[in-house]
Amino acid sequence: MSKQVELRTLWLVDGYNVIFADEEYWHLREEDLEHSRQRLTDALLDIAAHRDLEVYLVFDGQRGGRLAEEYMPAPHFHVVYTARRETADAYIERQTFLLRGSYRDVFVITSDGPEQSQISGNGAYRKSVRELLEEMAADKREQETVRARSGGRVSVAEQLAADSHAELERLRHRK
């Protein structure tokens, strides 16, 4: 039986790499690390919805003696806390190996040099944290432009992921 390839693109994001690289998240981290993680999650949820991405946001398992934890705040969006002794890098390397060939494209977002070399060997593409932050800012500007053109109103159809919109259109035109 052949393996079904997901049409969306997958992003595997090293969460603490982003938090420690960006001044906005860094200042929040000094006050409350959970707040930084939530702001990053919200920002990635936003771009993932607009670009129809599958995202794994991975944080090192530094939460006491806890076991690995994963939850999905939205479809196609996973927040992962690795097990106490597992690094986000190790988790991401394993996922790039396990998920290669299952998505149209797999991108690993990290600023860790050795990690970047390893993921290339697993068939994934590298995206630096700086590139991610630039892409998120560009997506926000694009959203603001759409809102401005529509007088501040955005239709429900414009907010849907591409696959959801296509399915609704298919149903609408069905006789």
Contact between 3 and 10 (Cβ < 8 Å): no
Q: What is the pLDDT of residue 118?
A: 64
Indicate if the pLDDT at residue 8 is higher than 90: no
DSSP H helical ranges for the chain: 15-21, 23-31, 33-51, 88-99, 113-121, 129-149, 156-159, 162-173
Indicate if the pLDDT at residue 159 is higher than 80: no
Indicate if the pLDDT at residue 65 is higher than 70: no
The per-residue pLDDT for range 83-113, each reduced to its tens digit, is 888 889 889 989 998 888 889 899 999 887 6
- Whether the pTM exceeds 0.75: the reply is yes
Indicate if the pLDDT at residue 62 is higher than 90: no
